[in-house]
Structure 1
Amino acid sequence: MPLTPDRLDNVERVIQAAPIGICVTDAQGRFERVNPTYCEFYGYREEELIGQPFTLVVPEANRPILQALHDRFIAGEDDEELAQEWEVHGKDGELRNILARAARIVDNQGAVKKVTFVVDITERKRMEQRLEFLARHDELTGLLNRRAGLALLEEEIARSRRYSTPLAIAACDLDHFKRINDRHGHAAGDNVLREAAMRMRRALRQHDHLVRTGGEEFLVILPGISLAEGWQAMERLRLALSATPLEAPPLTLTLSAGVAELAPGEDSDALMERADRALYGAKEAGRNRVLEAAQPVMGKATKSG
């Protein structure tokens, strides 16, 4: 229900005392009233806002959209807007997130105004984004986690079959990682994993995928390349990893890897099993090397085959 003139005296008291941000704008969208909570949230003094367009607190790219929505609301029939989430910024330029709801009122002179109620949901949005990130990524390294990586592998296998393009993968892990934890502690081990992940990511192409499958183990998905090209890519990665010794703890990182190319009719489990066997072969041969996986026997490309 719209606010009538005889109720406007109470509005000012509500605006000043409310624990949420409240502003009143005129029909053109200029600030007429702002309460202390609103000023505190945005970092402005009241006198800095009064008379300014409300789009002052909106990222420049979104200002035309917000102004158009304001104009339609002022001219429309609805007395209240549905609650909507928006990205805004304070005087310091820092981006924030709000939940905003508005009501249309009429003052003593019959002028239409808009009252907007603002709730700060910045921390909630950050938490939601963090949880969404952790659902798909490893917290320590920022790489895709095992679940997301395996799902991505299925997508790449489907794409490889659809477009008849090659696909290679590599199973790899850091050599003697247990010794690092035993000698230097788990905190040092975590630093080594982060550094290794960063170096490996830099050594790969932009559209390759690096996955931390667990511990010091990684999966590399290499779309569009053959077994031989996959071996070359992993050899470059191996050399890049060991090129510069770490300072803390002082050691040289080495890596063992097994590379396999997707065979016709092969499923993801069989493909990864072949890569794993090649990885174990690299370890048994002395580590710090990349081995190609044996091609599957005809008729046994898949686990069910």
Structure 2
Amino acid sequence: MTAISADHLYELFNRSKQNTENVIKTAPLGICITDPNGHFEMVNPAYCQFYGYREEELIGQHFTLVVPAAYRQQMAELHDVFIQGNETHELRQEWEVRCKNGETRTIIAEAARTIGDDGKPRKVTFVVDITQRKRLEERLTQANEQLVYMASHDELTGLVNRRQGLKRLEEELKRCERYGGELSIAMFDLDDFKAVNDTYGHATGDNVLQEVTAKVNGQLRSTDVQVRLGGEEFLIIMPEINAQAAHTAMERIRQCVAESPCTEHRLSVTLSAGIACYVEASSTRMLDRADKAMYQAKQNGRNCVVIAPSAM
């Protein structure tokens, strides 16, 4: 075995130390070293660039300088626990940090515990910027939530759409079949709505639909569900009330709509409604009864509410 002189060993040590320093300085990820009290001892250029500070602005400062005020105490406590413990690595974690210009970013931080020349522990932290990835994930989440919402709601009015509404009606019918109780539905549409579109245009017609459905929602209980079946035709699902109570509620709604002009044109709008109650029938049968009662309301001169016979 070839002997290595002390001078050669010292040269290798210095070269290794210099190489390590060069690696840290040129690393594309942020690296910092904090002392036992949490103060910066070393920050590499990538760390400074990420946070927007110069090296001299960070050295000697507590590392929570780059942490939002709400999290500073928590982060300082975690640092102290890690420094005083025996673990050599800290689990990779996601954190929100704040740059010098006030911008909030998201990072993945991973840390290692090492011993300094003075024999005291140090914390070496490696920082990876995931801000763009986080924002993309948030946008994707919002887009998915929007798609789910659109699949079950009417785009114009924000009401539950026909498919989701009929599903909800089926659920209420199953509840009645299993546990008993009462259920009523009201089907209504706006009288002579075609004349509104023909006279004032479809944009005004859309505004009328939005205003009317908002007025109707304002008169409903939290347990009631208003559904847009299509065009100017709507359904209201009313759990736990009988036909007479539903009639009283629809009369209140009918009066509210008739007495409240719509849009800047101050248009008078009325509705005709038919009510059907649960009598151990399918949703199709129940809707058919409500539809026939609504047609009867039209025949009676419009702007009125009719209860369907129990066995129509």
TM-score by length of 2: 0.70
After TM superposition, give the deviation of residue 54 of structure 1 in Å: 3.7
Find the partner of 1:244 among 239, 245, 260: 260
Which string of whole-angstrom CA distances, capped at 9 and with x for unpartnered residues, describes residues 129-161 of structure 1? 222211211111111111111111111112223
Find the partner of 2:245 among 229, 235, 257: 229
Distance in 1, matches of 2:245 and 2:70, equals 52
After TM superposition, give the deviation of residue 50 of structure 1 in Å: 5.1
After TM superposition, give the deviation of residue 209 of structure 1 in Å: 0.6
Worse overlay, 165-174 or 117-126: 117-126
Secondary structure of residue in 1 paired with 2:130:
strand
Do residues 144 (structure 1) and 144 (structure 2) align?
A: no
Q: Which of these two proteins has the greater Rg computed from alpha carbons?
A: 2
Do residues 284 (structure 1) and 299 (structure 2) align?
A: yes
Unaligned runs of 5+ in 2: 1-16
After TM superposition, give the deviation of residue 112 of structure 1 in Å: 3.2
Find the partner of 2:228 among 205, 208, 212: 212
Find the partner of 1:178 among 191, 194, 205: 194
Distance in 2, matches of 1:139 and 1:249, equals 24
TM-score by length of 1: 0.71
Change (3 A) 1:199 1:106: same
Change (3 A) 1:178 1:209: same
Secondary structure of residue in 1 paired with 2:172:
helix
> 2:311 maps to which residue?
296
Which string of whole-angstrom CA distances, capped at 9 and with x for unpartnered residues, describes residues 235-286 of structure 1? 111111112212423211111111000112x111111111111111112222
- How many residues matched? 273
Change (3 A) 1:24 1:288: farther
> 1:111 maps to which residue?
122
Which string of whole-angstrom CA distances, capped at 9 and with x for unpartnered residues, describes residues 17-66 of structure 1? x7xxx7979699x7967666677xxxxxx9899524746477x9xx97x9
After TM superposition, give the deviation of residue 205 of structure 1 in Å: 1.0
Secondary structure of residue in 1 paired with 2:310:
coil
Worse overlay, 204-213 or 73-82: 73-82
Unaligned runs of 5+ in 1: 40-45, 298-305
Distance in 2, matches of 1:290 and 1:151, equals 25
Find the partner of 2:276 among 245, 260, 263: 260
> 1:51 maps to which residue?
64
Amino acid at match of 2:164: A
Change (3 A) 1:246 1:220: same
